[in-house]
Structure formats: structure tokens, C-alpha cells
Amino acid sequence: MSQESPEPTIDDGEDALGADIAEFVKLESKGPWVLAHLVARRVTPGEGDGVGFEQESTKCFGRNTFRRISAREFARRAGTSAKRVLAFLDAWNRLAEEGVVDHAADLHPDKEVELPDTSKYPFYGKNGYYRSWEATNLSPKRREAVEEEAEKSGTRPPAVAYILSHPKAVKTALLADETTRTAARQALEEFDARQAAADAEDRAAAAQVASERQREYDDVIRAERDAYAAQAREAGEGSQDDASMDVFNAMAEIRMAASRALALLSKQQINFTTDRAEAIAELCDGAEAAIAAVRDMATGAALDDAALAAFMDENGKFL
């Protein structure tokens, strides 16, 4: 009984080996951009960042049509997250903004695209176009804080984002490692120092605002006093009838102004600052003394010498 001879060994050849190596080199140098390109030409960009379920659309180029879907649907079919898909899309569009590739909205499957080399246009890393922390569940506000603080400290944002996304890992590291605890203490000390500095700046700014408002208030009071002095001088130069009518009008204005102030106070609860309340009280005291003096002089009642001298010292510059 004869034995069957073994099948001859067939060498697939140097060309096939070279093709696989070339494919490896291509993926090694352009692999991430291949993924970004596939996302960019199939995911709907624009409003809502393509996250909705019902954003499926058909684009027409000549006789050919191709379909785009939302980032969430793409992620569902690819077995990944929508945020990661959008991070790939954002990376592609960042490169497009530099004019290296076409924008995602201008891509379609029939269009040949020369993919960038990662040695010249890095996908990952410090200067990479892909920002992995955008694929996390951090809110935009927290991502912005991560980017800002990472830039200050020279830390890579992905490392910070990873820590923020894994609070249990942070707790474990603090419990297990003294170096981590030391770093945490230093961070808290720096945070407290920043807060104290910010509080001091806020207090200084508030004091500056209060000072400016006080100066404005003083300017208003000074202008009113100058106006009163001018009116008093004009009254002294006119006839008695004119002066009598001016006195009447002035007192009517005072009463109307007081009525307006009472109306404002009755309509709303006003919380005056201490300085403003004291200034208003001083104005009321001065107005009360002036009104009493005007009443006595208008009705012919005599002022005692001490009261008249005090009033003239306080208000004589208006006469």
C-alpha cells in the first residue's frame, strides 16, 4: 500500500512578504490618521456635533451617493464611545484648519486623500492633534480647567484627565503612597494660597469700587452745593418779590424731593452701605436745620444768637 506524498511547500514569495511589511509601515506611520479619516468621511459634522440618533443623511457627488451617520450610531456599530468618535473627528478638522487635508464636510469615499505622516503631523502626544481627554466624560468646563492647569504645570492634559476620571484610583494612590500624599498636600497648599490671593484681589477691587462711588457721590454733593450758592447769589441780586418766589420754589422742590425719596423707600427694600446711610443721615440733619431756619426767618420768628451763629457757620457760604 503506497503512502501519499506530502503536498509540496509553496513559498508565497518576497513580494507578498514585502507587501505585508509595507502595510505594517503604513499603519505604523499613518494608522491613527486612517481611523480619523474614516470617521471624518462617515460621521455627520456640524450642529450638535453629530451626536443625535436621527442625523443620518445622504450626500451626493455626481452620480454617486454616500451615507453619513451620527457619531453615536457610528460608535454603536464600531463598539466604541461617541465621545471617542468625536475626538477623532476633531483631530481631523484641526489638521484641516491648517490646510493639510480637506475638511470633514468635503470628504467622500470616492475622493483620494493623502494621509498625513505621524512623524510630521503627530496624532498622539503633547503636540498631537488628537486630544484623548476629549473622549472622557469630563464636562467642557472641567476640560477647559484641565487644559489651563496642565499648561501652567507643563503636564500632559491626558494624564490629568485620566486622574479626574478615576477618583477611586486617586484615593487608592493617596492611601498607598507617601509621595502621592506629599504631592496632594503641596497642591492643597498652593490652592489655598491662590484662593487667598484671589480673595485679596476681590477685596481690593471692592474697595476701589467703593472709593470711586464715594468720589462720584462727593462730586454730586459738591455740584449741588455750588448750584445752591449760585442760586443764593442770584436771589441776593434780584428784587424782594423775585427772592420771595425763589424761596417758595426752593422749599417746594425740597418737599417734592423728600416725597420722591419716601416713595422709593416704600416701594422696595433698600440695603444701604454704612457709609451711604451715614451720608444720608448727615444730609437729613443739615436739611432739617436749614428748613427750620428758613421757616423761622420767613415767619419772622427770632433765632437765638447761638443758633443763628451755628447756622451761619454751617451754611453761610451759600448766602
Residue 44: Cβ within 10 Å count: 24
The domain total for the chain is: 2
**159 within domain boundaries:** no
56 falls within a domain: yes
Q: How many CB atoms lie within 10 A of CB 42?
A: 22
According to the model, what pLDDT value does residue 97 have?
92
Tell me the residue ranges of DSSP E strands in the chain.
Answer: 57-61, 64-68
Q: Is residue 191 part of a domain?
A: no
Q: What is the mean pLDDT of the chain?
A: 75
Residue 47 has what pLDDT?
43
Structural domain contains residue 135: no
Residue 154 is assigned to a structural domain of this protein? no
Q: What is the mean pLDDT of each successive set of 10 residues along the chain, which is 319 residues long?
A: 62 72 69 86 64 47 71 87 87 91 84 83 80 66 70 66 71 82 84 80 81 82 75 64 76 83 80 83 82 78 58 50
Q: Does 137 fall in a domain?
A: no
Given 102, 130, 158, the domain boundary residue is 130
Query: Are residues 126 and 26 both part of a single domain?
Result: yes
**Domain of 269, in residue numbers:** 215-318
State which of 86, 101, 130 marks the end of a domain: 130
For the stretch 240-293, pLDDT in tens is: 667 777 777 888 888 888 888 888 888 777 888 888 888 888 888 878 877 887
Cα–Cα distance measured from residue 91 to residue 37, given in angstroms and rounded to the nearest whole number: 10
- Domain end (from 130, 146, 163): 130
Is residue 254 in a domain?
Answer: yes
- Asked if the structure places residue 42 within a domain, the reply is yes
The closest alpha carbon to 126, from 162, 157, 89, belongs to: 157
Q: What is the DSSP letter of 124?
A: S
